[in-house]
């Protein structure tokens, strides 16, 4: 999609601090981190949310989970724990309309979220 930040990051047309990349997924640091470690893990294809993801091959869901785990391991937050969030739609607070999993760590999280 032409006017999508995550599509552009995936294609390399706008810069991002990429942590890992495969043929199908990309992980990069959030531009406005909400924790000492804050990455975004996304499919390269323009899939809007987890509802659309569910209609795709299960392989892609698996690849995203593997990328989340690998991002956490490389960022050093696997052992102490971290949070994975996919804001979805208006009530979910999604501002970028391309599926992405926030991976937040490096501090203790609170619950419930706002």
- Binding to ligand 5GP by residue 78, rule CB under 6 A? no
Q: Which does 44 bind (CB under 5 to 8 A by kind): Zn ion, ligand 5GP, none?
A: none
The single residue of 38, 56, 98, 100 carrying the catalytic annotation is 100
Give CA–CA dist 104/35, Å, rounded.
Answer: 6
Q: Least separation, in Å, of the C-beta of 49 and Zn ion?
A: 11
Q: Which does 98 bind (CB under 5 to 8 A by kind): ligand 5GP, Zn ion, none?
A: Zn ion
Show contacts with Zn ion in window 80-99 (CB under 5 A): 98
- Binding to ligand 5GP by residue 1, rule CB under 6 A? no
Q: Closer to Zn ion by CB, 7 or 20: give it.
A: 7
């Amino acid at each position: 999609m032409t006017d999508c930040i995550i599509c552009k990051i995936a294609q390399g047309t706008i810069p991002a601090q990429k942590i890992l990349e495969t043929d199908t997924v990309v992980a990069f640091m959030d531009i406005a981190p909400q924790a000492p470690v804050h990455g975004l893990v996304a499919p390269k294809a323009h899939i809007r949310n987890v509802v659309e993801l569910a209609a795709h091959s299960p392989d892609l869901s698996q690849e995203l989970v593997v990328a989340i785990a690998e991002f956490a391991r490389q960022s050093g937050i696997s052992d102490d724990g971290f949070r994975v969030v996919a804001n979805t739609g208006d009530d979910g607070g999604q501002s970028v309309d391309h599926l992405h999993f926030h991976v937040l760590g490096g501090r203790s999280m609170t619950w419930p979220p706002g």
